[in-house]
Amino acid sequence: MAEITPVLTRHIVEGNPPLDLAGYRAVGGYESLRVAVETMSPDEVREVVKESNLRGRGGAGFPTGVKWGFVPQGPDSPRPKYIIANGDEMEPGTFKDRLLIHGNPHQLIEAMIIAAWALQADVGYIFLRPEYEAGAHLLESAIEEAHAAGLLGDNVLESRWSFELHAHISAGRYICGEETALMNALEGRRPNPRSRPPYPAIAGLWGKPTIVQNIETLVCLPHIVANGAGWFRHLGLTEDSGTKLYCVSGMVEHPGNYELPIGVTLRELIYEHCGGMRDGRDFKAALPGGASTMFMSPDELDTPLDFTNLEKAGNRLGTAGVIVVDQDTSIVGMVLNLMHFFAQESCGWCTPCREGLPWIEDLLRDLVEGRGRKGDSRLLGHEMRMIGPNSFCALALGAEGPLLSALEKFPEEFEAYVTNVPDPTASIEAAPATVTEVGS
């Protein structure tokens, strides 16, 4: 069993209210901020973050330090610059940011100020899904405390640098977690994603340089500043850095949040930390990082759950929202449930996602409800491969993960649903010469 060294969740105690400013300071809170602002230049902070190999915890795993390097710096660079904490957290199976927001709001605020210092940002927003209303209130009072203590606002810690921070509750859609849609939502527009280029680091919120980071990514910052890049790199069990909050749900004995060194294997996570499969059932599959990742089968139980190894395996760590499936759960039914989610959460901007995903859902429902036809599996795969990579944003690409991996790893489950309805389409690639059936 891996050594458990909680870092991000160290001061979060279940059942207790979160630490207030005094309490947080008593455990060393805001010390990193002081170190950063008083002893380090913004360049140095960016450098240590880059060295730490911190990768984005929101799903994409993009190296934070590299992203920060795209923000124009210097006296002639555009102002204001923005830093946004993405607390939309709507990926199914993911509930880690919720814990960090509600459990230790000052840690997040300190992290935001450090990031803002590093980027020389002027304004920050913590963007929250509407269900985190209680968290927003906690953040607002924490922001007020920080303000009063001179940690926010004009002349932060006498540095002659100013930073304002706001908590914003969104109206709530999955797409708001997409950083450009999030910025549209913040601007009061419809949350459709924007096209890139320009990238947010160059022209983001209101056309100004903007960095959007996941909450968990941000809260790593005070610890990196306090303990150094090398320490952070060594926290991981593999070549990836830091600890990771694994959100485990599904058929395990003890679902919940587990902060573990990044790189534990799926087997360790389930059988050592989560008490094994519920009621001794058999493990059938798991999604390692929320709904937008690929199913892992029993032969992948020893794969380390980190960015690098999962990418090697053709999968993604995503948000590390691990959804565990047992022998009695229908993969097709689960995929239908997930596709319903993706179809439901399409913003409606581009054709493949808007029209294609509901059709995918429809085909799966036909299967599950006994109207499936021979060839439907092939049609599902074919359509999904057309939709996923060719949509405007990554939403449909996310939907591709569970469907295509399920089709690949559990084809017999799909075939089992097929009834004897004849297939009217001779070929799915080419239109038949005569049209025999055109639907309703």
Residues of this chain that interact with other proteins (CB under 8 A) are 173, 175, 190, 195, 343-352, 354-359, 362, 366, 379, 383, 386, 389-392, 425, 428-429, 431-432, 435, 437-440
Task: Round to whole Å and give the CA distance between 244 and 264.
Answer: 9
CB of residue 432 to other proteins, shortest distance in Å: 6
Write the DSSP symbol of residue 394. Answer: S
Q: Which C-beta is closer to other proteins: that of 78 or that of 389?
A: 389
Q: Which C-beta is closer to other proteins: that of 307 or that of 392?
A: 392
CB of residue 336 to other proteins, shortest distance in Å: 14
The SS3 of residue 257 is strand
Q: Which C-beta is closer to other proteins: that of 268 or that of 361?
A: 361
Place of tokens 């000052």: 106
First CA to last CA distance, the chain: 58
Task: Round to whole Å and give the CA distance between 95 and 248.
Answer: 9
Four-point Cα dihedral 21, 23, 26, 32, nearest 10: -40
Q: Which C-beta is closer to other proteins: that of 39 or that of 195?
A: 195
Pairing of strands 256-261, 82-87: unpaired
Q: Can you list the positions of beta strands (E) in 182-222?
A: 210-214
In one-letter notation, the amino acid at residue 4 is I
Q: Angle formed by the axes of helices 105-119 and 31-39, to 10°?
A: 10
Task: Round to whole Å and give the CA distance between 179 and 220.
Answer: 20
Task: Round to whole Å and give the CA distance between 11 and 387.
Answer: 44
Pairing of strands 82-87, 210-214: parallel
Q: Which C-beta is closer to other proteins: that of 225 or that of 407?
A: 407
Are residues 207 and 187 in contact, defined by beta-carbon separation less than 8 angstroms? no
Task: Round to whole Å and give the CA distance between 79 and 116.
Answer: 13
Q: In what order do the strands lie in the sheet with 321-326?
A: 256-261, 243-250, 321-326, 283-287
CB of residue 206 to other proteins, shortest distance in Å: 15
Q: Which C-beta is closer to other proteins: that of 107 or that of 391?
A: 391
Q: How many CA atoms lie within 13 A of 368 on its CB side?
A: 17
CB of residue 362 to other proteins, shortest distance in Å: 5
Q: Which C-beta is closer to other proteins: that of 253 or that of 355?
A: 355
CB of residue 429 to other proteins, shortest distance in Å: 7
CB of residue 14 to other proteins, shortest distance in Å: 36
Q: Which C-beta is closer to other proteins: that of 67 or that of 173?
A: 173
CB of residue 186 to other proteins, shortest distance in Å: 18
Four-point Cα dihedral 385, 402, 300, 329, nearest 10: -140
CB of residue 69 to other proteins, shortest distance in Å: 24
CB of residue 318 to other proteins, shortest distance in Å: 22
The tokens of 280 are what? 């001794």
